Copies of this chain bind each other. A is one copy, B any other.
C-alpha cells in the first residue's frame, strides 16, 4: 500500500456513486500526479465502525504515512501543500486559493447541502430556497468575470467549488450560464473523469461480492 491512502466505504448504493467525497481526494491526487492507494471501511455499520478515524461516521479520510485526517477539505489543503499544481506557492496565490476553497464549503455548500438534503427527504423551506438562489446568483456574478477562482489558473479551489456546484439538483436550480460553463469546464478535466470512473468501478466491484 502506498504512503498516501484515500479511505472510503467498501460499497454504497447506486445513487451516491460518483458523488461520494473520496472523489475530491482522488481527483486532487490525479491532478497532482500523486500516487495513492484506496482503503475501505464497511458501509454497513458506518455510523459506529470507524469513529476513531472519522467521528461523524462518514468518509473520506486520508492517511499519509503516520498522518491521518478526516474532512475532505482538510485533506485537499494537505494535498495542496504537497503539489504546486493544486496551489501556488506565492503568499497572494496561496491566500486566494485557501479563501476560495473555504468559500466553496462555507459560503456555498453550507446553503446548498442542507437545501439538497431537505429536498431529497421530502421537506424544504422557501426561506432556504431563496438563500440558495441568492448565493448561486452571487457565484454567477463571480464566474461571469473570471475563468478560475484563484491566481488566474486551476487550483484546488476550482476542484472543490466545481464539486459543490455539480450536484444535479444544484446545477438545475435556475439558469446561470457562467456557472454552468464553469462546472462543465472543470469537470471535463481528465483527472476528474479518471477519479469518477475509479470511484464508480470501486463500488461496482463490491456489488459482485454482496
Interface residues, chain A, with chain B CB atoms under 8 Å away? 51, 55-58, 66-71, 73-74, 77-78, 91-92, 95-96, 98-99, 101-103, 105-107, 109-111, 113-115, 117-118, 121-128, 131, 135, 138-139, 141-142
B123 and A125 contacting across the interface, CB-CB below 8 Å:
yes
B128 and A56 contacting across the interface, CB-CB below 8 Å:
no
Collect the chain B residues with CB atoms within 8 Å of residue A101's CB: 74
A85 CB, nearest partner CB in chain B, Å: 20
* Alpha-carbon separation in the docked complex, A58 to B135 (Å): 12
Closest to A97 in B: B74
> Out of B66, B118, B138, which one reaches A128, CB within 8 Å?
B118
Closest to A64 in B: B95
Collect the chain B residues with CB atoms within 8 Å of residue A121's CB: 127
Collect the chain B residues with CB atoms within 8 Å of residue A110's CB: 105-106, 109-110, 113-114
* Alpha-carbon separation in the docked complex, A51 to B67 (Å): 38
Collect the chain B residues with CB atoms within 8 Å of residue A71's CB: 99, 102-103, 106-107
Collect the chain B residues with CB atoms within 8 Å of residue A124's CB: 125
Collect the chain B residues with CB atoms within 8 Å of residue A92's CB: 66-67
* Alpha-carbon separation in the docked complex, A69 to B94 (Å): 10
Collect the chain B residues with CB atoms within 8 Å of residue A78's CB: 95, 98
A70 and B55 contacting across the interface, CB-CB below 8 Å:
no
A117 and B131 contacting across the interface, CB-CB below 8 Å:
yes
A74 and B99 contacting across the interface, CB-CB below 8 Å:
yes
Q: List 30 A-B contacts (CB under 8 A).
A: A51-B141, A55-B138, A56-B107, A56-B135, A66-B92, A67-B91, A67-B92, A69-B99, A71-B99, A71-B107, A73-B102, A74-B95, A74-B101, A74-B103, A77-B98, A77-B102, A102-B105, A105-B105, A106-B109, A109-B110, A110-B114, A111-B114, A114-B115, A117-B131, A118-B127, A118-B128, A122-B127, A123-B126, A123-B127, A123-B128
